[in-house]
């Protein structure tokens, strides 16, 4: 129903506010109610339900919104430009900028179904894998560790950084520095003396 209504600027802003608030709230509490999400979006529950009649429709929309937000962040990171480690640093910063969306996606079991529904490989994952392989080819990322493993480690570290930021334990730039340092020390090539 919500998709059949032409979205004005105000409707579009309200919809985005609801989706962003939902990602934020659900990334911290998977059992949050629609009332919790409406309050975080600063709208009434009836307004939220005009946009998303039920919880499942809302969560499906949050998955898609979060995937788009992450895609936009990764595009802005320009991972195909410059030396691989600089590109990795930009990637980490971009992922942390999309923190609530990353946490929501990282912890939601529906992500696999949503990616499958897109009808092809996940562009974000493909971009990350290309960067890892480029780093391995250029000798700055350990070639003896599989790129799949490094990708999983990257997501886990970024998720830990996003969690620390969301809990107020560290500012975003501090989390970025910690994630980058931990990654570079863990996946970088080893020199023998």
pLDDT, residue 192, reads 55
Looking at every residue in the chain, the average pLDDT score rounds to: 87
Q: CA nearest 123: which of 59, 45, 131, 20?
A: 131
| 63-89 per-position pLDDT tens digit | 989 988 988 988 999 999 999 999 999
Provide the pLDDT for residue 78: 94
Decide: 135 and 88 in contact? Cβ < 8 Å. yes
Q: Give the DSSP per-residue string, the chain.
A: -GGGSPP-HHHHHHHHHHHHHHHHHHHH-TT--HHHHHHHHTS-HHHHHHH-SSHHHHHHHHHHHHHHHHHHHHHHHTTTSS-HHHHHHHHHHHHHHTHHHHHHHHT-TTHHHHHHHTTS--HHHHHHHHHHHHHHHTTSB-TTS-HHHHHHHHHHHHHHHHHHHHTTSS-HHHHHHHHHHHHHHHHBPP---
At residue 191, the pLDDT reads 61
Residue 1 confidence (pLDDT) above 50 = no
What average pLDDT does the segment 113-138 reach?
Answer: 84
What topology is assigned to 2-187 in CATH?
Tetracycline Repressor; domain 2 (1.10.357)
pLDDT(16) > 90: yes
Residue spans of the domains in the chain: they are 2-187
Determine if the pTM surpasses 0.85: no
């Amino acid at each position: 129903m919500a998709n059949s209504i032409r979205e004005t600027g105000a409707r579009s802003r309200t919809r985005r506010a609801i989706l962003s608030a939902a990602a934020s709230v659900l990334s911290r509490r998977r059992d949050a109610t629609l009332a919790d999400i409406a309050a975080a979006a600063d709208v009434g529950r009836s307004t939220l339900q005009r946009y998303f009649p039920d919880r499942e429709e809302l969560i499906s929309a949050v998955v898609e919104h979060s995937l788009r937000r992450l895609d936009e962040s990764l595009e802005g990171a320009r991972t195909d430009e410059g030396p691989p480690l600089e590109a990795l640093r930009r990637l980490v910063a971009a992922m942390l900028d999309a923190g609530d969306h990353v946490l929501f996606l990282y912890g939601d079991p529906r992500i696999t179904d949503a990616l499958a529904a897109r009808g092809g490989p996940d562009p974000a994952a493909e971009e990350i894998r290309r960067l890892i392989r480029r780093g391995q080819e250029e000798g700055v990322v350990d070639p003896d560790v599989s790129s799949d493993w490094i990708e999983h480690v990257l997501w886990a570290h970024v998720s830990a950084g996003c969690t620390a930021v969301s809990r107020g334990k560290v500012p975003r730039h501090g989390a970025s520095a910690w994630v980058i340092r931990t990654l570079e020390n863990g996946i970088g090539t080893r020199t023998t003396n």
